[in-house]
């Protein structure tokens, strides 16, 4: 079976662990509990008729990506860069962060994820997405589960191309 | 004696395990200090540890001879906590191996996560304050009611005598203060927490070095104090017990770090009365492992508000307690608001002296 390492990264409090828990365990908690370091789990999905084992790394949030230890990124095939759509300061460094990640992992597929869409009205959501310097690949709600499964499946398909 | 033991990694430790993996990821040898590795020998280790499934090929492919992963949180039954991992490539009898070092810092990182939690929540609230600065109504930020709502903080609230809570509660009141003042205070608290986190990281790395050397302990401690308080040499009275030999086998960095963590803040206090640091050695009969006792007592002036001022020190002592516990030692904190007393008694097991 093919294995792919996927990294969830971004600023603190944007909902990386919530996306991780929603995708792996279909669970959500309103309580914010910070992550230190890394949590790793795996889930098998299907892509183009083939089983793929996703090894998902949930990394502690940092304001900028250059503060994340490089070893965490080694061998990653996919990166989900998560921002909190309700907190603009979580995407203020997005351009530099994405450039940094592209340099670090030239072959990796990178997706920008706008999380916590459930906190915004449709108008606010449109404004938030528009204000982000890098195109947002998917908007999600880890709370309701909206687009979470699709996000990981879309990334898997891209990694398997 | 196995090849592994010949590599001087056979010493038992209460916080470190070393495992030797062959080229295919099978366990070749282990000191089994933290868990029994025999249950994982029938398949490549990557079948049991998700983390290794993705990392072993990467480690082999890497040009670096050593790769470290800090603060790994695992839920594996045999490793249920927080660990630092280091992987080194080695060639033994012409065959390639990987040396996997596991450092169990569960107790330490449980304290760390509390500080990180507060720091992150402070930062998030600061972001809301910044955002609302120009949008506030009557100078009141809109999000103050959401400040510090996490499970951890809620738990602290129930512990009315908890000093950590008092510190947080004090800062929580800032939420109702004008945004400008609140931002300054929050930034101060955030910086303080950041420094604390850096101190933990520094200590954890020093412990990992595991360099035990024979030192003239009195000289080392005297030197430390001369460097730290050259202008105030009498601020802390140093007492060396008769039981303390001239030479002690100890991790010098760890020793000075412990003394620094317990005394340094107090050294910078202007208003305190007096303090003493006593060092002595106790021989334990059953395993002939000597224990170094470090006793710090500080008598503060009665005009210092201990409730507010000491909260940060108590947080630091709780971190130190977990660090000392990781090293197989014990810390008993001394704190009395009535007597204006503050300090700690630390018992640290040493190698033979």
Q: Is B138 in CB contact (< 8 Å) with chain A?
A: no
From the CA of A23, how many Å to the nearest CA of chain B?
16
B24 vs B179: which has the higher pLDDT:
B24
Q: Is the pLDDT of residue B3 over 60?
A: no
Q: Is the pLDDT of residue B285 over 60?
A: no
Instruction: Say which of A13, A33, A55 has its CB closest to residue B151.
Output: A33
The answer to whether residues B81 and A48 touch, using CB atoms and an 8 Å cutoff, is no
The answer to whether residues B142 and B132 touch, using CB atoms and an 8 Å cutoff, is yes
What is the value of ipTM here, to two decimals?
0.91
Q: What is the distance between the alpha carbons of residues A110 and A126, in angstroms, rounded to a whole number?
A: 22
The answer to whether residues A81 and A125 touch, using CB atoms and an 8 Å cutoff, is no
Least confident of A34-43, A85-94, B314-323: B314-323
CATH number of B210-349: 3.40.50.620, 3.50.50.60, 3.40.50.1820, 3.30.565.10?
3.30.565.10
- What CATH architecture is B3-104? 2-Layer Sandwich (3.30)
Q: What is the pLDDT of residue B341?
A: 80
**Helix (H/G/I), strand (E/B), else coil: B1:** coil
Least confident of A140-144, B243-247, B263-267: B263-267
Q: What is the distance between the alpha carbons of residues B150 and B143, in angstroms, rounded to a whole number?
A: 14
B119 to chain A: closest CA residue: A34
Q: Kindly report, residue by residue over B82-115, the tens digit of the pLDDT.
A: 999 999 998 888 899 999 999 999 988 988 888 8
DSSP string, B29-52: EE--SSS-GGGG-SS-GGGT-HHH
Is the Cβ pair B123, A12 closer than 8 Å? yes
Adjacent-strand bridge partners of B273: none
B221 vs B336: which has the higher pLDDT:
B221
Q: Where are the domains of chain B?
A: 3-104, 108-201, 210-349
Domains and CATH numbers, chain A: 2-160 (3.40.50.300)
Q: Is the pLDDT of residue B169 over 70?
A: no
DSSP string, B294-313: EEEEEEPPTTS-HHHHHHHH
Instruction: Say which of B62, B82, B109 has its CB closest to residue A74.
Output: B62
Counting one residue from chain A and one from chain B, the pairs whose CB atoms sit within 8 A come to 84
CA distances, B330 to each of A141, B31, B325, B326 (Å): 45, 25, 5, 9
Q: Kindly report, residue by residue over A132-152, the tens digit of the pLDDT.
A: 999 999 999 999 999 999 999
Return mean pLDDT, chain B.
Answer: 76
B59 to chain A: closest CA residue: A74
**0.80 surpassed by pTM:** yes
Q: Is the pLDDT of residue A98 over 50?
A: yes
């Amino acid at each position: 079976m093919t294995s792919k390492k996927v990294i969830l990264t971004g600023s603190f409090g944007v909902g990386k662990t919530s996306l991780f828990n929603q995708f792996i365990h279909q669970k959500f908690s309103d309580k914010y509990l910070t992550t230190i370091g890394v949590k790793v789990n795996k889930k098998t999905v299907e892509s183009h008729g083939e089983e793929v084992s996703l090894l998902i790394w949930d990394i502690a949030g940092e304001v900028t990506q250059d503060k994340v230890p490089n070893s965490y990124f080694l061998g990653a095939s996919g990166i989900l860069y998560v921002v909190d759509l309700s907190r603009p300061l979580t995407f203020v460094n997005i351009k530099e962060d994405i450039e940094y990640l592209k340099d670090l992992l030239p072959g990796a597929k990178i997706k920008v994820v706008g999380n916590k869409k459930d906190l915004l009205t449709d108008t606010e959501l449109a404004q938030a997405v528009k204000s982000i310097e890098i195109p947002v690949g998917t908007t999600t709600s880890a709370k309701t589960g909206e687009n979470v499964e699709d996000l990981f499946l879309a990334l898997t398909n891209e990694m398997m191309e | 004696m196995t090849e592994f033991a010949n590599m001087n990694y056979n010493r038992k430790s209460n916080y470190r395990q070393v495992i030797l993996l062959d080229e295919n990821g099978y366990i070749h040898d282990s000191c089994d200090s933290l868990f029994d590795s025999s249950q994982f020998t029938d398949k490549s280790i990557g079948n049991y540890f998700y983390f290794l499934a993705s990392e072993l090929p990467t480690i082999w492919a890497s040009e670096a001879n050593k790769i470290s992963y800090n603060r790994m949180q695992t839920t594996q039954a045999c490793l249920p906590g927080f660990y630092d991992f280091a992987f080194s490539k080695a060639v033994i009898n012409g065959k390639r191996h990987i040396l996997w070092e596991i450092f169990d810092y569960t107790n330490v990182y449980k304290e760390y996560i509390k500080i990180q939690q507060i720091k992150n929540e402070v930062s998030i609230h600061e972001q809301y304050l910044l955002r609302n600065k120009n949008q506030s109504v009557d100078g009141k930020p809109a999000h103050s009611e959401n400040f510090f709502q996490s499970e951890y903080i809620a738990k602290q609230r129930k512990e009315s005598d908890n000093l950590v809570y008092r510190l947080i509660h004090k800062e929580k009141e800032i939420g109702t203060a004008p945004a400008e003042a609140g931002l300054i205070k929050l930034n101060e608290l955030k910086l303080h927490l950041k420094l604390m986190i850096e101190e933990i990281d520094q200590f954890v790395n020093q412990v990992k070095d595991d360099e035990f050397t024979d030192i003239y302990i009195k000289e080392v401690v005297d030197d430390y104090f001369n460097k730290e308080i050259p202008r105030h040499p009498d601020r802390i009275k140093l007492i060396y017990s008769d039981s303390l030999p001239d030479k002690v086998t100890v991790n010098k960095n760890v020793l000075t770090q412990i003394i620094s963590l317990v005394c340094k803040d107090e050294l910078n206090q202007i208003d305190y009365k007096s303090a003493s640091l006593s060092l002595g050695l106790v021989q334990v009969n059953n395993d002939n492992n000597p224990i170094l006792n470090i006793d710090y007592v500080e008598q503060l002036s009665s005009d210092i508000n201990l409730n507010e001022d000491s909260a940060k020190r108590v947080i630091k002592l709780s971190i130190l307690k977990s660090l000392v516990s990781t090293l197989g030692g014990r810390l008993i904190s001394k704190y009395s608001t009535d007597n204006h007393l503050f300090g700690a008694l630390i018992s640290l097991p040493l190698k033979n002296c």
